[in-house]
Amino acid sequence: MPDHRTIREHRHLRFLGTLLHDPNLWHLNRRSASGAFAVGLFTAWIPIPFQMLVAAIGAILFRVNLPLSAALVWITNPLTMPPMFYFAYLVGGWVLGGVSVDHIAFEPSVRWLTTELVLIWQPFLLGCLILGTTSAAAGYLAIRGLWRLHLVNYYRRRKQRRLLKRHE
């Protein structure tokens, strides 16, 4: 992780003032890590450029680990974005009542954006919202559960070591 002092003192980030001074933005604990997963996974499903900036703002607002939130948006990268967003469209179409994908022929052009995207934006954005919310909740709960499981196992092993030392 980058040094938090360097980031706080960066000339382009000074406008954030004391917002970057919250220790939860830079430390890993159960709350900040699980919240960072929720923010990062939700943001990964938002179909916009500069997702890392949105995740960083979300991390600051919710006071969760900023580097982890920003890094998690890279789940959507040039290789994973097409299948993920296609799946989002399918989920949104299913929720809206069987929107068909047979008529869509993708081509990377402005003409396609102005004609075809107008037809598919509602199921696409609904699917992104549903999958973003579901991913955020699942990531949050999974990290909380894994962290708790780790602590329970740690204390159990510690207790066993103490018992072994008493019997020696």
Task: State pLDDT tens for residues 90-144.
Answer: 899 888 887 666 666 666 677 776 777 777 888 889 999 999 999 999 999 999 9
Range of the domain at 73: 4-167
Contacts with 123 (C-beta within 8 Å, 6 or more apart), sequence order:
89, 92, 93, 95, 96, 99
pLDDT score at 93: 87
The number of domains in the chain is 1
pLDDT value, residue 6: 66
pLDDT at 86: 86
Q: pLDDT tens digits for 60-97?
A: 889 899 889 999 999 999 899 888 988 998 899 888 88
Whole-number pLDDT of residue 152: 93
CA angle in degrees (0–180, nearest 5) for 35-70-21: 70
User: What integer pLDDT is reported at residue 40 of this predicted model?
Assistant: 96
Question: How far, in Å, are 29, 54, 77, 107, 128 from residue 81 at the CA level?
Answer: 30, 17, 6, 16, 12
Assigned token pair, 89? 């469209």
- Residues 136-160: what's their mean pLDDT? 94
Could you tell me the pLDDT band of residue 42, with boundaries at 50, 70 and 90? very high
User: Cβ distance 39 to 61 under 8 Å?
Assistant: no
How far, rounded to the nearest angstrom, does the alpha carbon of residue 40 sit from its chain's CA centroid?
A: 2
Query: Do the Cβ atoms of 69 and 107 come closer than 8 Å?
Result: no
147, pLDDT greater than 80: yes
